[in-house]
Amino acid sequence: MIRARLMARFYDRMMRTAEERFLADWRRDLLGSLSGHVLEIGSGTGLNLPHYPATVTRLVLSEPDPFMRRQLQAKVADRARNSVQVVDCAAEKLDFPDASFDTVVSTLVLCSVRDPQRALAEIRRVLRPGGNLAYFEHVAADNPRTLRWQRLVEPAWKFLAGNCHLTRHTHESIRQAGLDPVRTEHVAMTPAPMLVRRAVKGLARRVPAGAASAPHLAKV
């Protein structure tokens, strides 16, 4: 409880350098063209909020942590956005009907959910056919030496950093969940610590029944 309270209190401050150097640009690029009904999982303190365009007609921000959610609600209230709803909802159990959203957004969230495959199954369920998961996530290193360090450090890291895992292959899990990659970029979160530097970002689509999948996975 104390760790969660402290993380919520200092999260924006801890993220400030990364936001100024690259994350704000990533958020703007990922969210700037969205429209219709959008669900964001693990919204945290609301760092994505300024980057949603007016073309998003319904925005649902889900955050199960009460301390994070308190800050999120304050930011929503300050912006006086009537189309924004804040809900207490875990990614593994999304309390929405099937095919409710045009886009689901996940930014630095799937590293810390307790059951990523269940969360991705829920994301796919609430997406409309043809809807997209828009994401960026840090993933396991491709350098064997760094990966060994990640595996060594991960138990303590999870304890201190809200169940954040260092060795998940989230981009592969997305494909296994039946979401078809439309655009995937492999990028480095510089100057983040080496243990969390490798990341992926992009879009993955819920393909309508009977439609063909994308012919290849684009990488940058």
Residue 124 C-beta-side C-alpha neighbours within 13 Å: 21
In a domain, 218, yes or no: no
* Tens-digit pLDDT profile for residues 13-43: 989 999 999 999 999 999 999 999 999 999 9
Domain count, the chain: 1
In a domain, 220, yes or no: no
In a domain, 217, yes or no: no
Parallel, antiparallel or unpaired: strands 180-188 and 198-205: antiparallel
What is the C-alpha to C-alpha distance for residues 83 and 30, in angstroms, rounded to an integer? Answer: 20
In a domain, 97, yes or no: yes
Structure tokens that stand for 102 in this block: 């045009």
CA nearest neighbour of 79 among 107, 39, 50, 43: 50
* pTM of the predicted model as reported, rounded to 2 decimal places: 0.92
The predicted pLDDT at position 219 comes to 40
In contact, 27 and 59? CB cutoff 8 Å? no
Q: What is the CATH number of the domain that holds 191?
A: 3.40.50.150
* Tens-digit pLDDT profile for residues 106-163: 999 999 999 999 999 999 999 999 999 999 999 999 999 999 999 999 999 999 999 9
In a domain, 91, yes or no: yes
Q: Would you say residue 220 has pLDDT above 70?
A: no
106's CB contacts (< 8 A; 6+ apart) are 40, 41, 42, 91, 123, 133, 134, 135, 137
What confidence tier does 213 reach under pLDDT thresholds 50, 70, 90?
A: low
In a domain, 190, yes or no: yes
Q: Would you say residue 207 has pLDDT above 90?
A: no
Could you list the residue range(s) of the whole structural domain that residue 116 is in?
A: 2-205
* Tens-digit pLDDT profile for residues 38-85: 999 999 999 999 999 999 999 999 999 999 999 999 999 877 666 899
* Distinct helix (H) and strand (E) counts, the chain: 6, 7
